[in-house]
Amino acid sequence: MDKVDYYVPFDLQPYQGSSLLMDVFTPGDRRTIGDISYHTCWKKLKYAEEIDTTNHESFRPAYHHTPAYGWMNDPNGMFYKDGVWHLYYQYNPYGSQWENMSWGHSTSSDLIHWQTQPLALEPDALGTIFSGSCVVDKENTAGFGKNAIVAFYTSAGARQVQSLAYSTDDGRTFTKYPGNPIITSQAPDFRDPHVFWNEEAGHWNLILAAGQQMSIYSSTNLKEWKHESDFGANYGNHNGVWECPDLFPLPVEGTDKTKWMLICNINPGGPWGGSAAQYFIGTFDGKTFTCEDDPQETKWMDYGKDHYATVSFDNAPDGRRVAIAWMSNWQYANLVPTRQFRSANSIARELGLFEYQGETYCSVRPVREMDAFRGKQIARPTETCEIVVTLKGDAQLTLRNGKGEKVVISYNEAEGSIDFDRRRSGEGSFSDAFPTIITSPTYGEVRQLRIFIDRCSMELFDGDGKMAMTNLVFPSEPYNRLSIQGKAKARIYSLQK
C-alpha cells in the first residue's frame, strides 16, 4: 500500500556539517517481491522543520500516560524530585512496535497530566537500552555531585550487561559512565536493575532478574557492586521469564509491623495468560530476602489481563510507595488497534500491605491525586469517567453502547470473587487471547468498587485496596449506558481534563 500511517522525526541537528550513514532494519517478512527502494517509507521520506504530533487515534487515553508517538512498554527509572514526578519508559521512537529500545521521558506535577521530554538514553556500542531505575544520590556517594540523578539500565547487545549514567540537571540529560558495564554475567537473561538506598543497612542495594531468579547486590558508591544472594528457586510462578523486579519495605495496615515486598514481573505465566506481576512478602537484611509465603503459592498484584512491569518511584514524598504499570499484555501488545502509538501506562497506584486469614497481601489503591481529579456527578457513563459502586451483596454491572458492545462486571460475595467479561466489549479480533472472562479474588467482602474508564481501558479497585483489576477494551463507540442487577448503587463522576 502506498500509504503512510504516521510520521516520526529523526533530528538531523546533531549531524550538521558531517556525513550520516543510517542502517535501517525491517523485522519480519514485510515484502517478498520487489526492491527495498520501492518501499513506501523511502518514497514518502521528507524534511520538516517540525513534526505534527496531533492525536489521530480514537483510542488514545485522555488521562493515562502515553508516548506522543511510537512504541512504549516497561516504565523505567521513575523518581520524584522538587515537586516533579519523572517517568522514563522503554521506547521505540521510530515505529509503533517493539524495536530500537531507548528511554523516553515524561514529567508530571500531579501523576495525571504528563509532559513529553526529549529522549533520555539512546543505544550505543554496548547495545540497546533495556529497563532499569534511577535514584537521587542525595549524599554524593557516587561522586557525580550532590543530588545527582543516577540511572541504572541493561545494555542489551551481544549479551545483557548492566550500565550506569548520571544527570546533573534533574534527569533532563544523562552522561554515560565511561566504566560501563558495571555488572556482567554469562546468563542470557540478565536485566532490569532496580536500585534503592537501604537506610537500615547503610548502603545501596540493587536487585535484578537473572534467569529464573532475582540477584541482590550491595554497594557504597553506586559503581562497584558485590553480589550478596539470590532469591526465587522453587518460589512462586516460573511459567515464564522473570523480569523488572522491585524491593521495598511497607507498613502492614492496622498493625505496628513492617515487612518487605519483592515484586517479580513474569511473562508468560500470568493468571489469565501472558504478562502479570507477582510478589513475595518477607524480610530483608540488606543481603538476603527471606520469603514468608508458602513456596508453592503465587500472589498477584493485579488480576487483570493488562498489568505488567510494575515498578515504584524512588524518593517519593511522605513515605509513599507509588507504582505504575505498563497497561498491556505481550500476548497482543503489538497488535492492538492503534497505529500512531502503542501503549499506555496504568494510573498511578499507592501500594500497602494488609492481613487476611493469617497471611499478608499487597493493597493497591488509586493515588490520592485521582480524588482531586474527580469532577461533577453525571447521569450517564462517558468515555472518561469514574464510577463509584456501593455494594451490599451480589451484583452485576453492565456497561454497554448503542452498538450492542458491552462489559459485564459481576460480584459474587459467597465465592469472594469479581468477574470481568470483555468477550463482547468491542474490537477484539486482533488476538484470540483478548476476548475472555477474567476473575479476581476479593480477600473479604467488597463494599465499594471504583471503576476508572478511559477510552480503551477499565481499572477496578476495591475501596479498601484489597483487589485491583486492569483491562483494555476497544469499543467502537463509548459505553454510555449502565445497568445494575442486585444490591448495588452507582454514582458516576466526570473526570477533569
Active site residue ranges: 74
The three cell numbers locating residue 278 = 507477582
- Whether 160 and 184 have beta carbons less than 8 Å apart is answered as no
d(CA 14, CA 22): 14
**Which are the contacts of 488, defined by CB distance < 8 A and separation ≥ 6?**
389, 390, 391, 392, 395, 397, 411
CA-closest candidate to residue 142, choices 177, 172, 109, 108: 177
d(CA 386, CA 492): 6
- Whether 349 and 368 have beta carbons less than 8 Å apart is answered as no
Burial class of residue 33, CB neighbours in 10 A (0-12, 13-18, 19+): exposed
